[in-house]
Amino acid sequence: MPEPVFYGGQAVIEGVMMRGPEWMAIAVRKPDRNIALHVERVDSVLRRYPVLRLPILRGVIALWETMKLGLTALLFSVNQAAPEEEQLSKGELTITTAVGIVLALAVFVALPTWLGSLLERSLGSGWWVQLLEGGMRLGIFLGYLKAISLVRDIQRVFQYHGAEHKVINCFEAGDELTVENVRRHSREHKRCGTSFLLYVVVISILLFSLVNWPNLWLKIVGRLALLPLVAGISYELIRLAGRYDTPLVNALSRPGLWLQGFTTREPDDDQIEVAIASFQAARGFGLPG
C-alpha cells in the first residue's frame, strides 16, 4: 500500500507557503491585488539518505529543513507585500531570525529554569518544584500566544494561517478546491505547527526534569542540549496524529486543536484564493514538465 501524501504549510506576510513531496510554493497578495507566486523543487536529505529517516532523528532534520524553507517564504513574502524602501535582504532576515531564536531560548528555556532555581533555594528540591517550573514554562508560552493574537498585523497572518488549514482540509476531504468549498472546512488541523509547539513545551517539561544539576548554568546548557530530542519526539507525535484517526490519538490532539483558536482566524475570500494558488502550485499544477 503506497504511503499517503501529506501537504503542509505556513502563513507568511500577506500570503501562504505550501509544501508537498516535490514542490514548495509561496503565494502572496501584492499591493496591486495580484498574486505573486514563487515555486521551487524540494530536495530533502531525508530522501537521499535513508538512515536519516530513523524515528526522532527524522524529526530534527525535518524541523531544520522546515525552518530553512520558512525563511525563504518569509523573505519572499516581505519583499512582495512591502514597499521597496521596507524590503529586507537575506542577510538582514537571517540576523533578525537568529536574534529571535536567541530571545526565544532565553524566554522559554533560560527564564523558567532560573525561576525554578529560585524556588528550589526557597522551598527545597522536589518533583513538585519541577512541576511548578514546567507550569511557568507553559504559562509563558500560552501568554505569548494570547498576547500576539491581539496584534492587528499578526491577526492578518493568522487569517492566512486559517486559510492554509482550510485548503488542506478541503483537499484531504476530497472536495474541489474552490473558495466556496474551502470556506466550509475547519481551520483546525492536527498536523499544525501550533500543536507541534505545544508538544515541545509538554515534552520539555518531562525531559527537563531529568536535568536538575545544582549549578544554574550547567542546568541551562543541559536543557538546551535536550532540545533536539524534545523536537524529535514532538515530531513523532505530530506524525502519529496525521496518520491515525483513533479516539486516543484524537484525545492527544485536542489540546493543540484548541490552541489553534489563538493562532488562526477566519480568512476572507481573497486570502482563501491565495492559499489555493499556493497549494495548487505545490501540487505541481501549471508548472512546466
Span 33-64, pLDDT tens digits: 999 999 999 988 988 899 999 999 999 999 99
Task: Report how far residue 243's alpha carbon sits from residue 67's, in angstroms, rounded to the nearest whole number.
Answer: 23
Between the two ends of the chain, the Cα-to-Cα distance in Å is 27
Mean pLDDT in residue range 141-151: 93
Angle value at C-alpha 16, between 15 and 17, nearest 5 degrees: 135
What are the residue ranges spanned by the domains of the chain? 8-282
Mean pLDDT of 13-17: 96
Question: Residues 113-128: pLDDT tens digits?
Answer: 999 888 888 877 777 7
Query: What's the pLDDT at 288?
Result: 52
Task: For residue 12, list its beta bridge partners.
Answer: 15
In whole angstroms, give the CA distance from residue 121 to residue 123.
6
Question: What pLDDT does 287 receive?
Answer: 64
Q: Give the per-residue pLDDT at 261.
A: 92
Burial (CB count <10 Å: 0-12, 13-18, 19+), residue 193:
buried
Q: Is the dihedral of CA 198, 283, 62, 153 positive or negative?
A: negative
83 or 138, higher pLDDT: 138
Per-residue confidence (pLDDT) for residue 3, from 0 to 100: 56
- Give the CA distances from residue 90 to residues 2, 23, 181, 233, in Å, rounded to whole numbers and listed in that order: 39, 21, 37, 31
- Judge whether residue 265 has pLDDT over 70: yes
Q: Are 88 and 75 in contact (CB under 8 A)?
A: yes
The residue ranking higher by pLDDT, 97 or 272, is 272
The yes-or-no verdict on residue 154 having pLDDT over 90 is: yes
pLDDT band at 212 (very low <50, low <70, confident <90, very high): confident
Say whether 25 sits in a helix, a strand or coil: strand
> Strand 35-41 to strand 15-19: parallel, antiparallel, or no bridges (unpaired)?
unpaired
pLDDT of residue 2: 45
| Gap between the Cα atoms of 30 and 39, Å rounded | 16
β-pair partners for 9: 18
* pLDDT, position 1: 39
Are 182 and 275 contacting, i.e. CB atoms less than 8 angstroms apart? yes
Torsion angle of the four alpha carbons 157, 148, 73, 200, in this order, in degrees rounded to the nearest 10: -120
